[in-house]
Structure 1
Amino acid sequence: MKSLFIDIKNDETRCYLFSIEHGRFEHVETKVVNEAGNYDFGIKNSGNIDVNISLPINMLNFRVLELPFRDKERILEVLPFELEGMILGGSDKVIMDAVVLNKTDNKYKVLAVYIEKLILGRTLSDLKASSLTPSLITSIELRSVLNEFSTEKLINPVNIDDAQRIKYAIEEIINPSINLSKGEFVFKQHLEETKKGLKIASILLLLIFFTISADIIFHLYTTRSEISNIKKEIRKQYLELYPQEKNVVNEYYKLQSHFKELIDRNSYLSGISCLNTLRLLSQLERRSAIFNELIIEKGNLTLKGEADNLNDIQQIKDSLSRNFENVVISDSKSSLQNKMLFTITAQEKKLE
């Protein structure tokens, strides 16, 4: 990247060309401008160069004010009102900026810097003819004064040698003391570039919007298509299960109804399993065992009873194991009548 700094002095104008790489400035060339508008270094009409201007201090006007705040934006808001009675023709005839100097008591000393629009316009006319767009309008000589500020130096500024002017030029590009490139002096090229950038951004946003919209529409279409295919498959499978039912509106709810019927049928048939269990229990060789309680629930069997001894209880367990699975004597203890109380659990054998 390159940066052009136009240093306007009372007796001549010099242009400093800088090359900028990784934030470091390298002074490439200095050119003394003898011909009006000859600022370009062979880069005339180039939009990728940063252009900066330094005005001589005697072109600028100054006022020292005291304000209760130091915020730059607030200062610039009140500055036209503060200077209204001090500027011939009113504050709307000038371009202004401000520099906070120091703090005294509870107030800040502020240096107001301004220049008549007419004078600045004439000064920049040659630059406009060269189609160069200044992003910064400042003053090298003012920067020198601000280093050790005094009103005397504003009136009689010290002479600055060429090397120091180049140094100040770099400092101004990095951190400007003032910038009078405002209002009508923000050249239209900047505005056009901004408009162009906004236009491109708008087009990109529209493209993104249409792309996302198209993607959503495509997914909606494919989803609806998949749902339709699933419904067709459900209907096909349903008709294979129930070919006699042709006029079915909603196969899903109809299947739920059939499943409910199957569950109800299963509850009726569960009584058959209970009867079979009772039949098997009646065939057991119980010896002295007596069953006091029998619980049959969803294939699980619980027997509670009493016997004369543990051998008879073990005999019942062994007999149950022939027709049931997971047969366990879960509890056994003696009663007051010298009987053995027991609890046996088992499960119906699953059909293979």
Structure 2
Amino acid sequence: MRTTRIAAGAALAFLGMALPAFAETPTLTISVYGIAQDAYKKDLYDPFEATCGCTLVVETGNSSERLAKLEANKAAPVIDVAAIADFNALEAVRKDLVQPIDVSKLANYNTLYDIAQDPLGGHVAVGYTFYSTSIVYRSDKVSITSWKDLFKPELAGRIALPNITTTQGPSAIYMIDKAEGGTTPDLKAGIDAIAANREGVVTFYERGSQIPQLFEQEEILAAVVGRFGWANIRKLDLPIKWATPSEGQTGGMNVLTLVKGTKNEALALKFIDYWLSKEVQTRLATDLVDSPANKNVEVPAETAESLTYGAETAASLHFIKPADMLENRDAWVAGWNAKVTQ
């Protein structure tokens, strides 16, 4: 895990003179994903520091390792605000690692889409970005209108699916299960459909960055990806489209949480509110860092094409309930290992 001090406090040289003491610069420590940190520094961290006259300390890593650090420091928290996946946030709630957010202190709370305002209940988190997951495909080679179309004969040996252990893995299985008429929380119908067609899958990928190269080399004609990876795929000089399957698209959400026992609650709330503001969310959307959770954000059509954007899109997403994720993911992995990776 990497820790970066974004701004250093001003040094005061004492030239043998007795000078009055100066108050220490307030410091806020945040825990975030490691991606796009240069853009976050430009669009969020530096402007906030200029506004608050404070210092931000940024710790990065994936959700699971940062959650583990919160738990390890439960008795003496070192983090004030954590940005994590919604199901990891629920896990933090169950481990008594976060505290409710006083949303009356958030001027931008009511500007969020409804799905982002209180995604876990009890105001223990607010969504700052969400994204869709769907199928991208070579429109000159195949037509895709359903999740079942992944297993068309003409796509055998030409598709890429996310591994179960990735963020997109459960989302892909969830929608395939829905298309197959699944009714059980173990997603058996979806896992069975993938298992029956596993010989036709080029790779169960671990990193979304693999997908553009696979398309470019014409090893695949279709893949399941998160919207945040669409911008790089669109850069390819190939006729690739984003599918809108009849069963819909699934979605994921990242949230901001207030760590229990923080000694900087007031400053933490100011930072959360600033992150949710139209100004910041517009900058991050324009730089294709995050799809905006603030419904007042407006971006050009070309930018919107690379994002999960707009009220209609937000309302159409099928989210896996965080509780369902926590309570069933071990069973999903077990089913996957028994049937798909055997």
Relative to total residues, which structure has the larger strand share, 1 or 2? 1
TM-score (norm 2): 0.19
Larger gyration radius, structure 1 or structure 2: 1
Q: Which of structures 1 and 2 has the larger relative contact order (alpha carbons within 8 angstroms, sep 6+)? A: 2
TM-score (norm 1): 0.19
